[in-house]
Amino acid sequence: MDDFWVFGYGSLMWRPGFDYVDAQKGHLFGYRRALCIYSHVHRGTPQKPGLVLGLDRGGSCMGMVFQVKGAQRAPVMDYLRARELVTNVYLERTGQVQLTDGRRVTAVCYVADRAHQQFAGSLGVEEAAKRVSVSQGQSGHNIDYVASTVAHLREMQIRDHWLEGVAGAMSDNRKVD
């Protein structure tokens, strides 16, 4: 059985939760990282939804790509589906990723379902920052989720100017009850 690749753009980058034989930065084409998913449990409530990351169509996204042994396909895919498809707001897809060593691979990725009720759409920096600044859920303040994500991306030397802009604007809007 052939090895396969998994693309991570959020917490999967620094906390994959599965064994892999290689990991390197990769550029996914056709999708961008965005705070485009309403969170009603972990980072918000139904009355005051927070925002979490999704891959939305258009542009490209730098993330981490993990090579997984083919013999581990079933348990790794089971794990990923349990992690990513809880509310079915993400769709399991494959995408072309260019690795830092120049190779192109096809990787499993989870993209935002634009037809799902939790899809927030394309938000501007200020609008996203305002929503994040006033939301909290079972896993804590939404502002902490975004700040942690930006910090991890910086540690990995991955820039996301839009998300950094949201993080910069959050402190001006923080009014969590």
Residue pLDDT, tens place only, 28-62: 999 999 999 999 989 999 999 999 999 999 999 99
Beta bridge partners of 175: none
Residues 6+ apart with CB under 8 A from 47: none
Q: What's the token pair of residue 35?
A: 């705070």
Quote the CA–CA distance of 141 and 133 in Å, as a whole number.
8
Per-residue confidence (pLDDT) for residue 172, from 0 to 100: 63
Q: What angle do CA 37, 39, 44 make, to 5 degrees?
A: 145
For residue 175, pLDDT over 80 is answered with: no
pLDDT single digits (tens) 125-147: 999 999 999 999 999 999 999 99
pLDDT level of residue 170 (50, 70, 90 thresholds): confident
pLDDT single digits (tens) 69-102: 999 999 999 999 999 998 999 999 999 999 999 9
Quote the CA–CA distance of 37 and 63 in Å, as a whole number.
18
Per-residue confidence (pLDDT) for residue 176, from 0 to 100: 42
For residue 177, pLDDT over 50 is answered with: no
DSSP notation for 38-72: EESSSS--SSS-EEEEEEEEEEEEEEEEEEE-GGG
Annotated domain spans of the chain: 4-173
pLDDT single digits (tens) 101-122: 999 999 999 999 999 999 999 9
pLDDT level of residue 174 (50, 70, 90 thresholds): low
pLDDT exceeding 90 applies to what percent of the chain?
93
Q: What's the token pair of residue 15?
A: 């906390």
Q: Active-site residue numbers?
A: 84
For residue 171, pLDDT over 80 is answered with: no
Q: What angle do CA 72, 155, 139 make, to 5 degrees?
A: 70
Closest CA to 5 of 58, 54, 72: 72
CATH number of 4-173: 3.10.490.10
Look up the pTM and report it: 0.90
Per-residue confidence (pLDDT) for residue 7, from 0 to 100: 98
Q: What angle do CA 95, 44, 61 make, to 5 degrees?
A: 20
Helix axes 161-173, 142-155, angle to 10 degrees: 140
